[in-house]
Amino acid sequence: MKFRTRIVFGVLLSVLFVLASLGIFIGQLLKGFYVDQLADRIGKEAALSALVIENSNENEWQEIAERLGERLDVRVTVIKENGDVVGETSDNPTSIDETEIEESTGEANIRYSTSFGDDHLSYTYPFHYGEEHKGYLRLSMPVSHIDEINKKIWVFLWVSFSLAFLTIALLSYRIANQLTRPVEQVTKAANELAKGNFGVRMEEGYQDEIGQLTKSINTLASSLEQTTSEYHTQRERLEALFDHMGSGLIFINDRGDISLINQYCKSIFDTDTNHWLQRLYYHVIQESSLITLIQQIFLAEKKIRSQVSITTRLAVHHYEVYGAPILGEKEKLRGIVLVLHDITELKKLEQVRKDFVANVSHELKTPVTSLKGFAETLKEGAAANEETREQFLNIIWKESDRLQHLINDLLELSRIEQEHFHLNIEKVSLTRITREVAELLSGKAKEKKLTLSLNTSEEVDMQGDSFRLKQIIINLLHNAIIYTPEGGDIFVNVYKKNHAAVLEVEDTGIGISDRELPRIFERFYRVDKDRSRNSGGTGLGLAIVKHLTEAHSGQINVVSEKGKGTIFMLYFPSNVSNIS
């Protein structure tokens, strides 16, 4: 039941009870007052009438009774002491009973009587006539006359109180409505505020307590709307900063559950980290070094800075991890925060500086030593022997050729990595370029008794640099020939897929282990060092392939199994702009 209904119902019930009680009381009071006034009137009329009868003859009593009854509008009865009726205005004369005589002895009395066949209000008054005779004068009127007056009184009271009740009901409803409507508005506004609708406003109305309340609610709603707007703005900024910052960010609560993780972590862990939320960190994080670091922060409750390496399928990434505990009230641990900053490029640059000197020195040492040794041998007299001279000169030529290849590859890789490097973009046929390279290297494949299968039935065109694309294919086929044993197979496929030009080079060679796979695009890295070096490989071919593929905005993927072979898959977009 509504508050307004309860107020109106309570007020009307109280008013109804008060009016009913007051009506009964007033009705009885008016009835008694009317009867008393009527009895007093009849008593006075009876006394005057008895005085008239006392001063008249007995023979005149009938006539006097008739005149009195007509004038007073009552029934007049004159009775002697012995009970004989000597004067009567009614057609049905009645005698006076002993009770009436006894009650009329001394002073006048009024009573209800049924001796007339109906209830009457009668008044018996004694009088004296002659010297010793006594008589009784009785005035009476029917009770129905009193009842009629009483009904009129009750009708008047009922109509008056009904009008009063309706007036009070209307006023009560209006007052209750005036009181409860602001309360309903406040309740509705409070519910809307609870739902988050801070734009709700109310009519402030009168400047009373209710008006002050609605004004306060409006002020509260306005403040909440402003605060919420600022909160959402700040939250959007923090979320944008959180998701687009160049570092991984992870929050772990005191129970070990990951409560927050940004989008950058997807690339760090190479998986959809959204599924990590509300899960224990050691159930989803696979890197033992990172788990150990998290455990140290939980145990020591101190800031820790360390470096970890995370291995994905094709690369090893290095991160500087900064971890700190989150302390609440009374220094209670609430969780920890981890920030992972990618330092892979710095590590690579540092490693490149180290490896470059070591690798170049190592790669140059062998041919230079060979050249110097065989030259000294020839100088000391071996040149006189034609067979020995020819053998040493061939070795010197081979080593110098290898040295030239190494220097050329270093210069080429350096040229590709320079900022002003540009591709000569034009519409080229990847199918045609692949056929040309296959024909160029078919001789080497036959020398090793390898089957080179070329599937270029579909004409695939793309935007690219024909010279650089040929360089990519030469390196891939050259590696396939080197690392595939005699009698093996090499498959080259060129086709279109989802508006992209795809080049696949598959071999049945020695394959690449999962441990070596992330490092194959590093400079000077060789899967089989002896075989590569003996075949004239410099260890820079795949590094050149990767750089040139990325320069064409392409992607490279490798699938390999140790001892079963390797598949290189290159995806080139249809349109490539000039990239420096």
- The tens digit of pLDDT for each residue in 480-519 reads 998 898 889 999 999 988 888 999 999 998 888 888 887 7
**Owner of token pair 């939980």:** 298
pLDDT of 356: 62
Tokens matching residue 279: 């899960």
Give residues with Cβ within 8 angstroms of 14, minimum separation 6.
none
Amino acid at residue number 424: N
Residue 156 lies in a domain: no
In terms of domains, do 250 and 314 share one?
A: yes
If one counts the domains in the chain, the total is 4
Tokens matching residue 169: 């009901």
What is the extent of the structural domain holding 363? Answer: 347-416
Q: By percentage, how much of the chain surpasses pLDDT 70?
A: 79
Q: What is the pLDDT of residues 248-278, one digit of tens each?
A: 899 999 899 999 888 888 888 888 888 899 9
- What's 538's domain CATH number? 3.30.565.10
Q: Using 50, 70 and 90 to split pLDDT, how confident is the model at 100?
A: low
In terms of domains, do 547 and 423 share one?
A: yes
- What's 35's domain CATH number? 3.30.450.20
**Please, what sign has the CA dihedral across residues 342, 346, 350, 353?**
positive
Residue 205 lies in a domain: no
pLDDT of 353: 67
State pTM to two decimals: 0.41
Residue pair 506/491 in contact (Cβ under 8 Å)? The answer is: yes
In terms of domains, do 81 and 15 share one?
A: yes
- What's 385's domain CATH number? 1.10.287.130
In terms of domains, do 92 and 133 share one?
A: yes
Residue pair 540/410 in contact (Cβ under 8 Å)? The answer is: yes
Residue 174 lies in a domain: no
Which of 100, 119, 150 terminates a domain? The answer is 150
Query: Is the model's pLDDT at 365 over the cut of 70?
Result: no
Averaged pLDDT of the chain: 79
Average the pLDDT over each of 95-104, 410-419, 470-479 and give the range with the smallest value: 95-104
pLDDT of 311: 79
pLDDT of 187: 76
- Determine the average pLDDT of the residues in 25-39: 77
Q: Using 50, 70 and 90 to split pLDDT, how confident is the model at 579?
A: very low
In terms of domains, do 403 and 351 share one?
A: yes
Q: Report the C-alpha gap between 347 and 232 in whole angstroms.
A: 39
In terms of domains, do 124 and 60 share one?
A: yes
Residue 146 lies in a domain: yes
- Determine the average pLDDT of the residues in 30-36: 76
In terms of domains, do 403 and 476 share one?
A: no
In terms of domains, do 457 and 564 share one?
A: yes
- Determine the average pLDDT of the residues in 186-209: 72
In terms of domains, do 464 and 408 share one?
A: no
Q: Using 50, 70 and 90 to split pLDDT, how confident is the model at 107?
A: very low
What are residue 76's phi and psi, to 5 degrees?
Answer: -115, 130
Burial 297-321 (b: 16+ CB within 10 A, else e): bbeeeeebeeebebeeeeeebbbbb
Give residues with Cβ within 8 angstroms of 509, minimum separation 6.
480, 483, 484, 485, 488, 565, 566
In terms of domains, do 140 and 35 share one?
A: yes
Which of 86, 115, 150 terminates a domain? The answer is 150
Q: What is the pLDDT of residues 236-253, one digit of tens each?
A: 887 777 777 788 899 999
Which of 397, 416, 435 terminates a domain? The answer is 416
Q: Report the C-alpha gap between 407 and 431 in whole angstroms.
A: 31
Residue 96 lies in a domain: yes
In terms of domains, do 538 and 488 share one?
A: yes
In terms of domains, do 303 and 377 share one?
A: no
Q: Report the C-alpha gap between 140 and 138 in whole angstroms.
A: 6
